[in-house]
Amino acid sequence: MIAAPTSRVLVLGASGLIGRFITDDLRRRGFTAVGVARAFSASQRISALDIELPIMALDASALAGLMRVHEIDVVVNCLGVLQDGPGSDTSAVHREFVARLLAAIPASSRSVRLIHISISGTADEDRTAFATTKREAERLIASSGLPHAILRPGFVIAPSAYGGSAAARACGVSDRSAGQGRGDAVPAGGRCRHRRDHRLARFAADR
């Protein structure tokens, strides 16, 4: 079932590449979109419904309260980190947060549908903490019994310098130079000649 423009949508991770686009696009289409992120840039904070919260610190009760206060009908979870590191924990963001979110939805006493941004491919192809924890979140959602949709985008590219987008632009610059200004395109699945050959990383979602 496609949400009607009267639906109120909560976008989690609304400052990231995918989350920002979804938030802005929903608003253009007439939806009330509440965008939540740890922090927004000055150019992103364009509405009173762009809300800064320590999102990873919210427990199930706080998430349920957020849904009740804003009378949310649909939650779009765009949270994600590409790898573990200082301030980034793939398990905490992808699996543990999703577990709290799944507990929060019934606790909100609202009929909420969940749309979750995951990754392309299948479990037997997963080789990184990013991929395995994303897949674990999918399994939690599938077994929850809640109304949901799991979206699995492939390579995501945009003007902003995020992950794969930056790598792709680096490829474009390198290949234009190699093509002596002809602007030769990098074929799908091809190689990027930037310092050394390497395949473009798969990019799915961000905070």
Per residue in 66-86, pLDDT (tens digit) is 999 999 999 999 998 777 777
Confidence of residue 90 (pLDDT cuts 50, 70, 90): confident
Per-residue pLDDT at 113 exceeds 60: yes
Across the chain, mean pLDDT equals 78
**Is there a single domain that holds both residue 127 and residue 168?**
no
User: Rounded to an integer, what is the distance from CA 16 to the centroid of its chain?
Assistant: 7
| Strands 50-52 and 74-77, sheet pairing | unpaired
Structural domains of the chain, count: 2
**Helix-then-strand count for the chain, H and E:** 6, 8
User: Rounded to an integer, what is the distance from CA 105 to the centroid of its chain?
Assistant: 19
Using one digit for the tens of pLDDT, what is the confidence trace for 125-174?
767 777 888 989 999 999 999 999 999 887 777 666 555 555 555 655 44
Token look-up 């002809």 returns 182
Contacts of 57 (CB under 8 A, 6+ apart): none
**Is there a single domain that holds both residue 42 and residue 127?**
yes
**Is there a single domain that holds both residue 130 and residue 194?**
no
Does 127 map to a domain?
Answer: yes
- Where in the sequence is the domain holding 191, given as residue range(s)? 164-198
**Is there a single domain that holds both residue 34 and residue 113?**
yes
For 144, other C-beta atoms within 10 Å of its C-beta total: 17
Does 2 map to a domain?
Answer: no
70 SS3 class: coil
How far are the Cα atoms of 99, 113, 189 from residue 93, in angstroms, in the given order? 10, 20, 29
Residue 17 and residue 158 in contact, taking contact as beta carbons nearer than 8 Å: yes
Model pTM?
0.75
> Residue 15 maps to which CATH number?
3.40.50.720
**Is there a single domain that holds both residue 135 and residue 171?**
no
For residue 51, the model assigns a pLDDT of 95
Does 185 map to a domain?
Answer: yes
Please give the single-letter amino acid code of residue 60.
A
Residues 47 and 204: their CA atoms lie apart, in Å, by 26
**Is there a single domain that holds both residue 96 and residue 187?**
no
**Is there a single domain that holds both residue 143 and residue 190?**
no
**Is there a single domain that holds both residue 72 and residue 35?**
yes
